[in-house]
Amino acid sequence: MPGAAFFDLDRTLISRSSSLSLAPAFHRRGLLRRRDRTKAMLAQLVFIRYGAGTSRVGRTAETGMAFLKGVPVEVMREIVVEAVDSAFKPHVYRDALDLVARHRERGEKSFVVSAALQEIVDALVAELGFDGGLGSTAEVVDGSYTGRLARRLDGGAKADALATLAREKGIDLAESTAYSDSASDVPFLEAVGHAVAVNPDRTLRAIAAERGWRVLRFRDRAFSTR
């Protein structure tokens, strides 16, 4: 069985929090108050500087779902698609897409695996040419979000998701590679044969040094902001 490549999203594939990046788009739709948008922008700055510890991931997920309560799923999908060019693509790392191309040359598929909502992951998978993606799933009733998560894909849940995907797709995890920036993703990195720390936070940097994991620094953007 072939291996595959699995990319975390925030601060690994892109330089920022994907969920917080949608705040301006929600504000334009009248779904987010100015004060809440300011809070999201401040949280984005903290995230860029310090990364996402487990507690930060949880708080961001819970806050994001509270904003989405009562919003139709189709509206969310429209917002994400409309925001791809402004909120996401200018922050995609060229180094990550270069790695996707190299894995493809070796006959390995590439997947996004993120705590971000599945709707966000799906849009980026389609836009950037990945072979698939896994994200957190929200509880939906009558086509609208309830404000609660059905599955939060972080920590050990990511590792479990990889095992399931590997069985379904015939992927050898021992021959696979996972990329992430955060110590909260250690179970995800341990699930494959080749773990790579990308722009790691302090804790992950120490773990990578102890275990001999490869460390990469992504800086260049893949798309022009003009």
Of 8, 95, 181, 185, the active-site residue reads: 8
- DSSP string of 102-141, one letter each residue: HHHHTT-EEEEEEEEEHHHHHHHHHHHT-SEEEEEEEEEE
Contact predicate 179/196, CB 8 Å:
yes
Nearest to 44 by CA among 24, 26, 29: 24
Which residue matches tokens 């996972």?
178
Of 10, 154, 181, 201, the active-site residue reads: 10
Phi, psi of 29 (to 5 degrees): -85, 0
| Residue 8 annotated as catalytic | yes
| d(C-alpha 31, C-alpha 13), whole Å | 27
| d(C-alpha 114, C-alpha 185), whole Å | 10
Nearest to 159 by CA among 147, 141, 173: 173
Contact predicate 117/136, CB 8 Å:
yes
**β-pair type (109-117, 4-7):** parallel
Q: Report the phi/psi class of residue 10: left, alpha or beta, with left for phi > 0 and alpha for psi in -120 to 50.
A: beta
Q: What residue type is assigned to position 41 of the chain?
A: M
Residues marked active site are found at: 8, 10
